[in-house]
Amino acid sequence: MTEVIRHDLIILGSGLAGLRAAVEACRVSGGKISVGLVSKVQLMRAHSVCAEGGTAAVLRPEEGDSFELHAWDTVKGSDFLADQDVVHRFVRIMPEEILLLEHWGIPWSRDPDGRIAQRPFGGHSFPRATFAEDKTGFFEMQTLYDTLLKYDNWTGYSEWFATSILVEDGRFRGLTVIEMASGKFYVMEGKALIIATGGAGTLFGFTTYSQTVTGDGLALAYRAGIPLEDMEFLQFHPTGLIPSGILMTEACRGEGGYLLNNRGERFMANYAPERMELAPRDVVSRAMMTEIEQGRGFKGPRGLDYLHLDLRHLGRDRILERLPLIREVTLKFLGLDPIEEPIPVRPVAHYSMGGIETDIDGKTRVEGIWAAGEAAAVSLHGANRLGTNSTAECLAWGAISGKQAAEYVMHQGPAEKAPEELVRREYERVFGDLLRREGRENLYHLRQELRDTMVTAAGVFRTGDQLEEGLRRVREIRERFQFISIQDKGRAYNTNLIHALETENLIDVAEVLLAGALAREESRGAHARRDFPKRDDEKWLKHTLAFRTPEGPRLEYKPVVITTWKPVERTY
């Protein structure tokens, strides 16, 4: 018999958005509701600890920054696909979030006069990236976790893997989860759910993501009947370390670093003469790939040709004060000291602008389910996210969804029982079918093929032929997945089974991304079609929605919310 765990509110994911939601739910409820925080990793091992450069907020209006300027930068950076009501709400919330973290004890970096320091970042027309050295995500996570420990009405579930979201009559009923240490199958019943599981960047072989980020929440929501929005917009960060893909934070350029080609030229002068290295990420990534394709890069391993990120002119003291993690990483992984040598970098899969469709409050179409952070498409980022708006979004909508979900459950009666038939079917799918497979296909070879396919089909530059071939190959991989072999038949810490479940999730997300990208016959933000090189506002100023059907994604569209600015040409 399946064991049942009950909470009023379940939060799936323990990164910045999940922790912020948990803190807010505990605060708002005064400890009166039961909160379950479910994580596939240890609670302080979520990928958010890898965020480096900063968190955007308007802190210095007296020096020329303003809510309107932050909003304009965000909307222009999004290539006008961001919902402008969402953007205006976001920029007004963020100063409060920065000060809350300050009161909770985060060690923000300081200017000599003692004020919280801020630095320039790509696409921002004012230095509003608030930071803690180059370890901002780690310090934000630690501060939120320490704050959460003040409350006793929550329970953490480290290394518990969710396999399905249970929905009945359009309402949330619970989750099915595997406790990885024992292999036991549980049902978590609750009145509300917040999905905060992050993105899906490990779809790509060369990525900044931790290998645990496999699009789980996206795929579970998709299967539960919630559409995925704008998944074709996958951000490539300009500076991934060769050959690992480890993030070389945009703060390197925010502090004054240069990008150089093999001729020693600061080539961004030819692409974004006003902003140079601090143009938005889609602009810089396309410029870098153009330099590499035209022979002005350096030969790299496994076809990973690269360019140089040069920090040497910043000097030892500034690098040690502002970019200590970058130096630590390059020394550890390459034996290279950026004080003395340039860093080898190229564009790398980094962030999902799209995600689970929500309204401006983070609420989904299923009653009782919210989504927050990178897993959600609220839509703040549109077609291209500005650096430091991501950690900010996690804080803002972690707080919004945590408050709303807590207030929702406080006005509900007792949680209803999870539907037994759905639970039985999910148990049979995982343990009666998947675990017993002994086919000829190697799971790990398939996973690598999927990642290679995405690199080829949906990189910085795309064409219809590449996308069509990629979609065909992903569907072929889905068919072959039926014939995988699960070698480990045990229950305790069966990572072989978990990897199979993750691969299923990645296949679903890959199909949605490619289908949306193939249909969108224009270039906008991070979606750059060589066969449709221009932005087409007449036909494509709209959000893509992907609904799951047995035949694959069914695409629909909805309008972008425009309250203030009509689209204009983006120049930097």
Question: Which tens digits make up the pLDDT trace of 173-203?
Answer: 999 999 999 999 999 999 999 999 999 989 9
Closest by Cα among 131, 364, 168, 153 to 251: 131
Q: What is the pLDDT of residues 384-406, one digit of tens each?
A: 999 999 999 999 999 999 999 99
Closest by Cα among 240, 257, 310 to 119: 257
Return the beta strands (E) in 215-330 as ranges.
228-229, 234-241, 258-260, 307-310
Single-letter residue type at 249: T
Task: Please report the domains of the chain, with CATH numbers, ordered by start residue.
Answer: 3-233+353-410 (3.50.50.60), 237-347 (3.90.700.10), 420-533 (1.20.58.100)
* Crossing angle of the two packed helices 136-148 and 389-410, in degrees rounded to 10: 20
Q: What is the pLDDT of residues 64-123, one digit of tens each?
A: 999 999 999 999 999 999 999 999 999 999 999 999 999 999 999 999 999 999 999 989
Confidence tier at 33 by pLDDT (50, 70, 90): very high
| pLDDT for the residue numbered 201 | 82
**Helix (H, G, I), strand (E, B), or coil: what is residue 228?**
strand
The DSSP code for 436 is G
Torsion angle, alpha carbons of 239, 243, 247, 248, to 10:
-50
Paired with 118 in beta bridges are: 130
User: What is the Cα gyration radius of the chain?
Assistant: 23
Provide the greatest CA pair distance for the chain.
68
| pLDDT for the residue numbered 553 | 97
CB proximity list for 88: less than 8 A, separation 6 or greater: 67, 71, 563, 564
pLDDT at residue 1 tops 80: no
Angle at the Cα of 382 (from 141 to 286), degrees rounded to 5? Answer: 95
Paired with 194 in beta bridges are: 11, 370
Contact 164, 341 (CB under 8 A): no
Total-model pTM: 0.95
Q: Could you give the CA distance from residue 3 to residue 81 in angstroms, rounded to a whole number?
A: 45
**Helix (H, G, I), strand (E, B), or coil: what is residue 384?**
coil
Which are the catalytic amino acids? 237, 253
Q: For residue 432, what are its two tokens?
A: 């009666």
pLDDT at residue 410 tops 90: yes
| pLDDT for the residue numbered 49 | 86
Phi/psi for 281 (5° steps) reads -65, -35
H-type alpha helices, 411-460: 420-427, 443-457
Single-letter residue type at 447: R
| pLDDT for the residue numbered 247 | 93
Q: What is the pLDDT of residues 323-352, one digit of tens each?
A: 999 999 999 999 999 999 999 999 999 999
Q: For residue 297, what are its two tokens?
A: 């890069």
Q: Could you give the CA distance from residue 314 to residue 134 in angstroms, rounded to a whole number?
A: 15
The three-state (H, E, C) secondary structure of 481-518, written as one string: HCCEECCCCCCCCCHHHHHHHHHHHHHHHHHHHHHHHH
Closest by Cα among 364, 451, 382, 448 to 165: 364
Q: For 369, how many CA atoms within 13 A lie in the half-sphere containing its CB?
A: 32
pLDDT at residue 44 tops 90: no
| pLDDT for the residue numbered 53 | 87
| pLDDT for the residue numbered 461 | 97
Segment 245-266 mean pLDDT: 95
Mean pLDDT of the residues in the chain: 96
Q: Could you give the CA distance from residue 541 to residue 424 in angstroms, rounded to a whole number?
A: 43
pLDDT at residue 414 tops 90: no
Q: Could you give the CA distance from residue 462 to residue 468 in angstroms, rounded to a whole number?
A: 10
Give how far Cα 90 sits from Cα of 83, 351, 378, 394, Å: 11, 19, 11, 11
Q: Could you give the CA distance from residue 348 to residue 572 in angstroms, rounded to a whole number?
A: 22
| pLDDT for the residue numbered 551 | 93
CB proximity list for 210: less than 8 A, separation 6 or greater: 47, 50, 202
| pLDDT for the residue numbered 234 | 96
CB proximity list for 144: less than 8 A, separation 6 or greater: 16, 19, 20, 23, 101, 104
Percent helix, strand and coil across the chain, each rounded to 5? 40, 20, 40
pLDDT at residue 354 tops 70: yes
Total count of residues recorded for the chain: 572
Angle at the Cα of 136 (from 135 to 137), degrees rounded to 5? Answer: 100
Return the beta strands (E) in 230-359 as ranges.
234-241, 258-260, 307-310, 343-352, 355-357
Q: What is the pLDDT of residues 457-482, one digit of tens each?
A: 999 999 999 999 999 999 999 999 99
Give how far Cα 469 sits from Cα of 349, 460, 508, 510, 511, Å: 20, 16, 16, 13, 12
Q: Could you give the CA distance from residue 417 to residue 42 in angstroms, rounded to a whole number?
A: 28
- Cis preceding-peptide flag for 243 (omega within 30 of 0): yes
